[in-house]
Structure 1
Amino acid sequence: MAGVEQRGNHEGLVKGLHWALVGRMVIEMAHEIRNPLTVIKGYLQLQEKKSACCMGESLGIIFQELHQIEVLVTSIISLANNNAVNKKPENLNQIIEGIYPAVQRVAVKRGIMTELRLADNLPMLDLNAEEIEQMVLNLAQNGIEAMQASGTLCIGTVRKSSKVILYVRDEGHGIPPEQRTEIFAPFFSTKASNAGLGLAISLIIAERHQGKIEVASTVGVGSVFKVLFPIGKQ
């Protein structure tokens, strides 16, 4: 029995060291991405001053996309370091409305329609707006990648009892039962073009807001991801 216990402790230590190494690699990679982004953004700001009359709209889109990359990189670094998150009373619907045009741009490129169904009179929640934006983008991107052209992605909110629920519903291929315990694991992905971090980061963001994520899925029909925020307990 002692040998089994020692072997178990050794395996746990190896696994812990492995994830510590992965965490350091993720942080270093995120820093390497953020540094050139800062330089690119600086040159674009200079160009904007020179040619605002003819490139204003295009530069605006570029800046918004750069901002989303910066938010993602900052979130990865913050989550990997387990830094405390700054939260303040926010209107969840307003956060979603602000990021919705970015979701629409991604969806339209794949021929996918989008719907926004926001409940009236939601209570204010203690949130970090940038992290919630990133979570909505991640969940929306996950749904979009699961669908073929002509499908519909729906983002909505609802209040139910003592919780506010953010949901993202897709009409994709669904998640097989054997994969539902793995989809939130870092680097797990069924798509060659996906790094497998979106759902993992979304889960951590939800937990940092004292929330949780529930998934309902039917193969061949689609999936619904629900983020449950407790009211007044954040």
Structure 2
Amino acid sequence: MRIPLLDSVPMPPLRIVLVDDHPIVRAGFRQLLEMEPGWEVTDELGSAREVAAWLLTAACDVLVMDLSLPDGDGLVLIRHVLAQKPGMAIVVMSMHDGALYVQDALSAGARGYVTKRAAPDELVDAIRAAGRGERFLGKDVRAQNHEETDEAAGLPELTSREAQVFLLLARGHSVSRVAATIGISNKTAYAHRANIYAKLHLQSDHQLRVLAERRGLVS
């Protein structure tokens, strides 16, 4: 007896949400991503506040987000999103390609990291990989990390964690924001800052930023 073939079951659409504070950037990426069969951009969000409100009622398969938002730190936001929705796949799309930015994003729970200078197909590949539960780094990110294994190379006096705290302070983060960004307690963050001050003979965050600029670690 001949067994009839079962109709193939269509794959559910891949739901994507874009987080960037520039509407024209979101529109361009929406157009790119919705060219992929079965992909749908379900929401566009422009701030950390909008993401927090969206988390209360909505869901998606992949969240594509910038780290630089007008009202919040993207690294803190990654941790907040994953605390609310642990299974969320997050791809960072940022202008920053420094090793510690990438390391911090991946440590916070992001599955992918591409820069805004990357070729469009890299974002597509990153989303596809994240949707499968895999990690993806863009070509320029890999190249930068190969050339500059760690921005901490410019801070040989410090441990890798101290260098991480140093760079966040140099970028203007408060101690409490540093703690939230890298997932440590305020007490531990203050202890790291004290160690940094002692090792580098500093007395203030202003002196720290001047030193970071002198060593070419921040602009």
For the criterion TM > 0.5, the same-fold answer is no
Q: What TM-score results when the alignment is normalised by the length of structure 1?
A: 0.26
From the two aligned structures, give the one with the greater helix fraction: 1
Higher normalized contact order (CA 8 Å, seq sep 6+, divided by chain length) = 1
